Chains A and B, each alone.
Chain A
């Protein structure tokens, strides 16, 4: 993703761990990655609220592929 940053600056980072039983643990969740995870389960209220929060605040701009 082009964040418009200089190459010397580190990219934003989210760490993700998927467990055998299907649980997903996330650390340092960025708005962009919240939008990705929401696509895995649109019924997940927790992730949905985080993704929506990012979008409604304007931090994460909805792209065409984010829309249903």
Chain B
């Protein structure tokens, strides 16, 4: 029922904060490039996520509403037309097989799963109620998109990437990034189990991680935080010289000290 409603709403797509309003039913594409049909970048069981979630069966959609220059799965994961074409029934079947083989959770991710919400809801409708569902997102979904997911998702894993409007504007062209993600974080904390992830970027500890940590301490005290320091320089970073290297051990230590300073609840 929800899937049908979301699919109908694609006539004026408002799923992410681009609010581009394109008519995906008529073949129009917005900044994310997603159309009516979803494709899958990969489906596999993984153990690289939070310990409380693994092993997880990761359902990875192609296509994203962001263009982070440090994205290590781009450009393929940015292109909604790439990847496997699978029916919701086949995806659900493989997810159930993974559960039978010992996967603890099923994770929807991308790219960005929000832009494929109708397909996600189709898949969820075919899964048993007992399946523990995880939503891994960049947090730029609209309130409408969140409402469609209400009551279905056990845990949200939200990337909080940038800590100030200048960095988000410079790196992804979105000065409103923080407001959008903060709204999602507050909502997710109220409606589900929440893990906030922050990938430490080289040269961005003070400008991005510190304000993110401060905000989390003030607005979501006690929230689970996964501080990741394994930044992996990607290929599209011409123009962003500070991102063309790995995180130095000193930067990782500084990030850890900030987490301690703000008494964040770190998990791995």
B103 close to A (CB within 8 Å): yes
Answer yes or no: A26 CB below 8 A from chain B CBs: yes
Assess the B44–A28 pair: CB atoms within 8 A.
Answer: yes
Which residues on B are within 8 Å of A, measured CB to CB? Answer: 42, 44-48, 51, 54-55, 58, 72-73, 84, 98, 101-104, 230, 232, 246, 268
What's the Cα separation between A26 and B84 when bound, in Å? 23
A-B contact pairs, 7 of them (CB 8 A): A12-B45, A27-B72, A28-B42, A50-B47, A54-B47, A54-B55, A58-B101
Partner of A25, one of B44, B54, B55, B230: B230
Q: Tell me the bound Cα distance from A40 to B13 in angstroms.
A: 48
Chain A interface residues (CB < 8 Å from chain B): 10, 12-13, 15, 17, 19, 23, 25-31, 34, 46, 49-51, 53-54, 57-60
Chain B neighbourhood of A54, CB < 8 A: 47, 54-55, 102
Q: A10-B84, A12-B44, A50-B51 are in contact. Are A28 and B102 (CB under 8 A)?
A: no
Give chain B nearest CB distance to A5 CB in angstroms.
10
Interface pair B45/A17, CB less than 8 Å apart: no
B58 and A57 contact, CB distance less than 8 A: no
Pair A53/B47 contact, Cβ less than 8 Å:
yes
CA distance A51 to B246 in the complex (A): 25
Residue of A nearest to B231 (CB): A25
Q: How far is the CA of A13 from the CA of B134 in the complex (A)?
A: 21
Q: A50-B54, A53-B54, A53-B55 are in contact. Are A28 and B104 (CB under 8 A)?
A: no
Interface contact A57-B55, CB-CB below 8 Å? yes
Contact B51 A53 (CB under 8 A): yes
In the bound complex, what is the Cα–Cα distance between A51 and B46 (angstroms)? 10
**Alpha-carbon separation in the docked complex, A58 to B268 (Å):** 21
CB distance from B66 to the nearest CB of A (A): 18
Known: A27-B232, A57-B103. 12 other contacts (CB 8 A): A12-B44, A13-B44, A15-B72, A28-B46, A28-B48, A29-B47, A31-B46, A31-B55, A49-B51, A54-B47, A57-B55, A57-B102
